[in-house]
Amino acid sequence: MDEETKPMKTILVNKPSGYTAQIGPAHPALKEPVMFSLQIEGEKIIKADFAPGMAHRGIEWMGMRRNCIQVVYLAERICGLCGITHAIAYCRAVEQIAQLPVSNRAHYIRTIVGEIERIHSHLLWAGVEAHELGFDSAFYYALRIRENVMDLLEYLTGNRVHYAMIQIGGVRRDITPDQLPRIEESLRYYEEAYKRLTEIFLEDKTIQLRCRDCGILTLDEARELCPVGPTARASGIRKDVRVDHPYAAYADLDLQPVMPDEYTGEIRGDVYDRIIVRLLEIKQSIQIARQCLAELPDGPLLAIPRPAVLLAKLKAAEGEAVGRHEAPRGEVMHYVRLTAGKDEPAAWKVKASSYSNYMSWIPMMEGEQIADIPVIAASIDPCISCTDRVALLKGTDRQVLTKEMLHQLSIEKTRRIQAQLKG
Cα torsion at 335, 340, 342, 346 (round to 10°)? Answer: -30
DSSP three-state, residue 334? strand
List the one residue out of 215, 194, 232, 213 whose CA is nearest residue 329: 232
Give the Cα separation of 191 and 199 in Å (integer).
13
286 phi, psi to nearest 5 deg: -60, -45
DSSP structure string for 157-179: HS-SSS---EETTEESS---GGG
pLDDT at position 54 is 64
- 59-356 to CATH, choices 1.20.1090.10, 1.10.645.10, 2.60.40.10, 3.40.50.200: 1.10.645.10
pLDDT at position 43 is 83
Crossing angle of helices 104-133 and 403-422, rounded to 10°: 70
pLDDT at position 33 is 65
123 phi, psi to nearest 5 deg: -70, -40
DSSP three-state, residue 10? coil
Largest CA distance in the chain: 101
pLDDT at position 411 is 80
Residue segments in the chain with a per-residue pLDDT below the cut of 50 = 1-16, 27-31, 385-395, 398, 400
Q: Are 295 and 307 in contact (CB under 8 A)?
A: no
276 phi, psi to nearest 5 deg: -55, -50
**Domain locations in the chain?**
19-54+366-422, 59-356
List the one residue out of 397, 32, 30, 410 whose CA is nearest residue 214: 410
pLDDT at position 161 is 87
DSSP secondary structure letter of residue 8? P
List the one residue out of 239, 256, 224 whose CA is nearest residue 324: 239
pLDDT at position 31 is 46
pLDDT at position 37 is 79
pLDDT at position 388 is 31
- What's this model's pTM, rounded to 2 decimal places? 0.85
